[in-house]
A = this chain, B = another copy of it.
Amino acid sequence: MLKLYDTTLRDGAQAEEISFSVEDKIRIAHCLDDIGMHYIEGGWPGSNPRDIEFFKAMRSRKLKNAKLAAFGSTRRSGVKAKDDANIKALLSSGAPCVTLVGKTWKLHVEKALRVPLKENLEMIFDSIKFLKPKVDKVFFDAEHFFDGFKDDPEYSMKTLGAAIDAGADCVVLCDTNGGSLPSDVGGMTGRVRMRTPAAIGIHAHNDSDMAVANTVAAVQEGAFMVQGTMNGFGERCGNANLCSIIPALKLKMKIDCITDERLRKLREASRFVYELANVRQFKRQPYVGDSAFAHKGGIHVSAVLKSPQTYEHIRPELVGNHQRVLVSDLSGRSNILYKAAEFGVDLASKDEVVQKLLHDIKALEHQGFQYEGAEASFELLVQKALKKRERYFRLLSFRVIDEKKKEDEAPFAEATIKLEVGGVVEHTAAEGDGPVNALDKALRKALERFYPSISEVKLLDFKVRVLGGVEGTAARVRVLVESGDGVERWGTVGVSENVIEASWQALADSLEYKLYKDKKALRAAKA
């Protein structure tokens, strides 16, 4: 059976901006175990103390399915395997499996390693021969295999031969520089397969944007082990992305490498790893990204609602994802109907309200409004179109003052606000880190007196986008605000030439939405 070999904790950690603590690594190892990886490469114990600590910590922990692997290079020139510090570190890691990387490209042997070609073969053979009886499995990562094979097939085959003769359980062909095309990887993997009965693996990098395709091409030619990382983390452009490879193997090539149930946890696992890496998720990421099954074009939406397979290559639920419909000026009537239904509003398609709403949205989007990510503002717009909007508060006036009194001092920001709630006027003020923050604080302060639940609302994100681009400081800006109350998250939008006005619209929508949704929930509970 095909084996999945994850190297997020070793090769993945080579990515710019990624640095896992020992605790992070332990949590990720359990997550990888849960979704059914067969091997988890935990680190390079010979290269840094954190990895040594990780393997030490893992000795007292049990994995359900996976086996841990420690990574290192073949012995150095002129040193016996048993005396090589790196190889000793591999053994003392206590990992049941060892993956040794060795040179297979003459250029590297001569220019980087600087040893005779023959000695490199001995270094591979000795290292594996020494380790093999002491651990469960030894894998050989044939570094730069495809570049080496192109350059001199005989020499690179000899390096594989040395590993196989010494007892390697699998020889893994590495596209280390990520420069190969699938036709090359497939072709060369097939040629290796013809020349050795040994088990072959594939380890691809994404420098040509083809790591997933290269991996699949190798599997089609008989590779039985697939190395990669979660979300494609890794040095330079990253490694082959297991979040894309696993569903391709399972759903498209019908290779039963993990269970259906575990495949459904893929999106959750992907997000977990992003969280621990503290890296923003890539929305357009295949299979597991937020946008992977998000439809915007009107024609697509109307078709996908009739029959999902019209614009979805797999059912999103199979990988734990879900369909989304976005609303924008590219959308047709179907998007509006779908969204309205999500909000519990049933609009018949020929309804005048839908026509009017569609017209309003197109006009608003032309002004720069955007309702993707601002579903709460959209829902309030629907309520308004239906003439069902309830007013929880009315603005009478606000004033924001921003004053800088010395060249090297931060300015002082203050907002005053006058609101009316059910005939009662509230006039208050607040200071803030900036004018928008001051206005935000003053608005909440004014409303909390009437609606204590406002204090539950937190502003989670605040985005400003300058629209147009040739009008300098008089350009229109769009403000997107994301809010949450510990139960739900919602987004709102505002557009104006005045950044404070645009922020006001988005903030006012956010708090109005909170009051509206609380009331809706109350009504639902009573019913």
Among A73, A252, A253, A507, the one with the most B-chain Cβ atoms within 10 Å of its Cβ is A252
Residue A167 CB within 8 A of the other chain: no
| 10 A-B pairs whose Cβ atoms sit less than 8 Å apart in the complex | A16-B326, A21-B468, A23-B469, A108-B310, A183-B217, A237-B292, A410-B496, A411-B498, A434-B498, A473-B507
CB distance from A503 to the nearest CB of B (A): 7
A460 contacts across to B, CB distance below 8 A: 469-470, 472
Instruction: Say if the beta carbon of A294 comes within 8 Å of chain B.
Output: yes
CB pair B407–A394 under 8 Å, yes or no, is: yes
In the A-B complex, the 8 residue pairs with the closest CB atoms: A459-B472, A179-B313, A213-B213, A434-B498, A209-B244, A464-B464, A112-B303, A433-B497
A370-399 interface code vs B (CB 8 A; 1 in, 0 out): 101100000000000000000000111111
**Which residues of chain B are within 8 angstroms of A258 by Cβ–Cβ distance?**
none
Stretch of A122-130, A190-198, A282-290, A446-454 at the chain-chain interface: A282-290
The stretch of A34-42, A43-51, A340-348 that contacts the partner chain:
A43-51
Interface size class of A (residues with CB under 8 A): 35 or more
CA distance A317 to B299 in the complex (A): 42
* A286, B207: Cβ atoms closer than 8 Å: yes
Give bound CA distance, A253 to B395, whole Å: 64
Bound Cα distance from A465 to B464, whole angstroms:
6
Residues of B within 8 A of A27 (CB): 469
> Is A62 in the interface zone, CB < 8 Å from B?
no
A437 touches B73 (CB 8 A): no
A74 within 8 A of B: no
Does B499 lie within 8 Å of A435, measured CB to CB? Answer: yes
Q: Is the CB of A241 within 8 A of B209?
A: yes
- Sample of 10 more A-B contacts, CB < 8 Å, known A213-B214, A280-B280, A462-B472: A23-B468, A108-B310, A111-B303, A236-B292, A237-B284, A402-B500, A410-B497, A437-B472, A461-B466, A463-B466
Give the complex CA separation of A497 and B111 in angstroms.
Answer: 45
Residue of B nearest to A276 (CB): B469
Nearest Cβ on chain B to A130's Cβ, whole angstroms: 21
Residues in chain B near residue A362, CB distance under 8 A: 48-49
Partner of A237, one of B285, B302, B462: B285
Contact B237 A286 (CB under 8 A): yes
Min C-beta distance of A82 to chain B, whole Å: 22
A residues at B contact (CB < 8 Å): 13-17, 19, 21, 23-24, 27, 47-50, 73, 107-108, 111-112, 176-179, 181-183, 206-210, 212-214, 216-217, 220, 232, 234-238, 241, 244, 248, 252-253, 276, 278, 280, 282-287, 289-300, 302-303, 306-307, 309-314, 326, 328-330, 362, 365-366, 368, 370, 372-373, 394-407, 410-411, 413, 432-437, 439-440, 458-470, 472-475, 477, 481, 496-501, 503-504, 507
Instruction: Tell me which residues across on chain B come within 8 A of A298, comparing CB atoms.
Output: 47
Contacts of A177 in B (CB 8 A): 309, 311-313
Complex CA gap A455/B45 in Å reads: 47
| A108 with B216: CB separation less than 8 A | no
